Amino acid sequence: MKGFEPTLHLVDVPGTASADPLALLPEGADRAAFIFDGSEMAGRPHAVWQAASAAGWLCLSREGCSAAQALGALAFSLLPAGEALMVHSDDPLLLQLAGPRVRIHAPARGTVLGPGEVKGELGVEPWQVPDYFALVGFPPLDAKGALGMDPSLARAVLERFAGVEEWAARPDLLEVLDTPSAPRLRALLERQGQRLRADAERLNLHTGERIAVPERAFQRRKYANLL
C-alpha cells in the first residue's frame, strides 16, 4: 500500500495456501517472523518451519494456541513499541488487526488491506470484525452466526452498536436507534444472545495476552533462530 513502510513482517503460515511462504517476504526484508499453530506439526508446516529457521528467520508457535491467536497476541505486544506490521495471511479473522500501523497482505487475492479497505469490503470497522463474524458465522471456528440474520442486517446492527456485547446489554435502544427489523432482532437476541456473545469473545484476538520477544529476535540470522 502506497506510503506504508513496514518495519516487520509477520507470516501466518497456516493462514496462507502459498506453496512457499518464505517467498511472501519482499526482497531485502531483514525483520520477520513465521507463525505456526501450537499443535503438533507435520507435512507442510514442518517443512516450512525447517526452511524458515534454516534461513535464519524467527519461527514461533504457542502450545494450545492457533496461529491467528499467537499472531494477534504478538501484534498487540509489538504495536506499543512503535512497530509497523505487514501481516501476510488469507485468514479473514486477521482483518481485525488492520490499523494505522498494520496492513494485511492477502496473498491469494494479491491485495493489501488497511482499515479503509476492510470497511469497504465488510462494511464494518476492523475492530468490529469479531462481532461481524459472530453474527454472520465463521465456519473455520464453528461460529454458527445468528440464525435469521444476513450480512446487511449484521452491518446495520454494528452501525448502531459498538458490538455484540453492547447490543446484548442495551436491546432497549433498538427502537430508539431506528434499527431495521427491531422486533425481530430483539427476539433473536433473547434466543441466541448468550451464544453470540461467547462467539464474539472467542473470535476477538485482542485478548490482553502479550508475547514478549526481544527486538533482536526478528532480525534475520545466519543460523537457526527458534523460540
Instruction: Over range 153-181, report the average pLDDT.
Output: 91
pLDDT at 210: 86
Which residues belong to CATH 3.40.50.1010 in the chain?
A: 8-114+206-220
pLDDT at 39: 80
pLDDT at 225: 46
- Domain covering 8-114+206-220, topology: Rossmann fold (3.40.50)
More confident residue, 7 or 180: 7
pTM: 0.91
Q: CA-based Rg of the chain, rounded to a whole angstrom?
A: 19
State pLDDT tens for residues 75-91.
999 999 999 999 999 99
Q: Regarding the domain with residue range 126-203, which homologous superfamily does it belong to in the CATH classification?
A: 5' to 3' exonuclease, C-terminal subdomain (1.10.150.20)
Coil, helix or strand for 8?
strand
Instruction: Over range 109-136, report the average pLDDT.
Output: 97
User: Are 213 and 58 within 8 A, CB to CB?
Assistant: yes
Decide if pLDDT at 163 tops 90. yes
pLDDT at 148: 83
The set of cell numbers assigned to 39 is: 499443535
Name 155's Cβ contacts closer than 8 Å, sequence gap at least 6: 122, 123, 124, 132
Q: How far apart are alpha carbons 112 and 107 in whole angstroms?
A: 8
Q: What is the largest CA-CA distance in the chain?
A: 63
Cα angle, residue 208 at apex, residues 204 and 210 outer, rounded to 5° = 115
The set of cell numbers assigned to 67 is: 496461529
User: Are 196 and 146 within 8 A, CB to CB?
Assistant: yes
User: Are 110 and 101 within 8 A, CB to CB?
Assistant: no
The set of cell numbers assigned to 7 is: 518495519
State pLDDT tens for residues 34-77.
999 988 777 888 999 999 999 999 999 998 889 999 999 999 99
First to last CA, the chain: 30
Region of poorest pLDDT, from 89-93, 154-158, 172-176, 197-201 = 172-176
pLDDT at 1: 46
Instruction: For residue 120, name the pLDDT band (cuts at 50, 70, 90).
Output: very high
Q: How far apart are alpha carbons 204 and 79 in whole angstroms?
A: 17
Instruction: Over range 193-201, report the average pLDDT.
Output: 95
H or E stretch including 112?
strand 111-113
